[in-house]
Amino acid sequence: MDVDVGIIGAGLVGSALALKLQRQPGYAVRMIANRSRDKAESLASRVGAVVGTNQAIAQTCELILITTPDRVIAAVAQEIAADCHAGQIVVHCSGSLKADILEPVRRNGALTVSVHPLQPFASVEIAAQALAGAYFTVEGEAQEWACQWVRELGGTARVIRADQKTLYHAAACVAANYLVVLAAIAADLLTYSGFEREEGLAALLPLMQGSLDNLAGAGLPQALTGPIPRGDADIVAAHLRAMPPEYLPLYRQLGVYAVELGVEKKTIGEEARRQLREILVEPEQ
């Protein structure tokens, strides 16, 4: 017998999980609910489900995925609590919120857990495919079930504590969101060398992909390249002299971290470390 799945929230995360579960043996996506009915109908038509209300999902589905924006998860939990019951599993997919935000549901007998896919969701189809091979963090009471579910989706489950979620989510933001910000800054810097911004990004992407490949192949700190792990203090000083002032604080701060990685990599010694820090650390006013 297939597990009947209801999805509350037809955004990128909910849609990617719906497409993944549609193709997953043992699960049947039965009902979609969303504040915008058009979005719910669009997703429902793609996965062979029907459009319903939050309460209807709570009354009829064995597995309920709450994939709404974080700010409304608590309200959804309150809304469906009276219709939830023992034998159900209710999952929210927020990376920052703890599973205990589903406490109203748990009090009515349902098992609750937070399961967060450590993936960027910019495209539904790409994200659905990328779920296989992704890490998922699990926090809450239904951990054993959640870890098995993640394995069925082709992912790797990692259990974390509730008090670890905030910094876990911050790490994810640094790795994914700020990577895009760094790409934008680098593309903007290339405009000073005559590139158009779009051309600059196109030129940088193979370089960035190469760094990601190095991280995958060589790990930390070996993947670090460039003038800092080589100890080229003169090059770093030249960068600082040429740098537009609005980018100087970021370049300096990232450079200081790069110095310590260079030390860890054992490519720069204490004298090179001292010289580089002397250049990079902004003098106190």
Question: Which residue spans within 43-159 are E strands per DSSP?
Answer: 50-51, 63-66, 89-92, 111-117, 135-140, 156-159
Q: Note the pLDDT tens digit of each residue in 63-77.
A: 999 999 999 999 999
Residue 123 has pLDDT above 80, yes or no: no
Query: CA–CA separation, 64 vs 6, rounded Å?
Result: 5
Tens of pLDDT along 248-262? 999 999 999 999 999
State residue 3's pLDDT score.
Answer: 93
As a dihedral over the C-alpha atoms of residue 28, residue 34, residue 36, residue 38, rounded to 10 degrees, the angle is 10
| Paired sense of beta strands 111-117 and 89-92, if any | parallel
Segment 104-119, tens digit of pLDDT: 999 999 999 999 999 8
Q: Is the pLDDT of residue 237 over 80?
A: yes
**In sequence order, which residues have a C-beta less than 8 Å from that of residue 166 and are 6 or more positions away?**
96
- Residue 257 phi, psi dihedral angles, 5° rounding: -65, -40
Percent of the chain with pLDDT over 90: 92
Q: Return the percentage of the chain with pLDDT > 70, whole number.
A: 99
**pLDDT at res. 122:** 74
- Is 285 a residue whose pLDDT tops 60? no
- Segment holding 31, helix H or strand E: strand 27-33
Q: Phi and psi (nearest 5°) for 50?
A: -115, 160
Looking at residue 125, its pLDDT comes to: 82
Mean residue pLDDT across the chain? 94
Mean pLDDT of 125-142: 90
Paired sense of beta strands 111-117 and 135-140, if any: antiparallel
Q: Which pLDDT score, from 0 to 100, does residue 9 have?
A: 96
Question: What pLDDT, on the 0 to 100 scale, is given for residue 77?
Answer: 97
**How many Å from the N-terminal Cα to the C-terminal Cα in the chain?**
70
Give CA–CA dist 4/48, Å, rounded.
12
pLDDT at 7: 98
Q: Measuring CA to CA, how many Å separate 224 from each of 202, 216, 219?
A: 22, 12, 9
Flag the least confident range among 143-147, 238-242, 278-282.
278-282
Dist CA 189 CA 127 (whole Å): 30
**Per-residue pLDDT, 47:** 94
Pick the CATH number of 3-160 from 3.30.420.140, 3.20.10.10, 3.40.50.720, 1.20.1440.230: 3.40.50.720
The CATH number of domain 167-280 is 1.25.40 = no
| Residue 120: per-residue pLDDT | 82
Query: What pLDDT does 52 receive?
Result: 96
| Per-residue pLDDT reduced to its tens digit, 3-53 | 999 999 999 999 999 999 998 999 999 999 999 899 999 999 999 999 999
What integer pLDDT is reported at residue 127 of this predicted model? Answer: 80
Domain ranges (residues) in the chain: 3-160, 167-280
The reported pLDDT for the residue numbered 284 is 56
**CA dist., res. 214 & res. 209, Å (int):** 9
**Cβ neighbours of residue 195 under 8 Å, at least 6 residues apart?**
187, 203
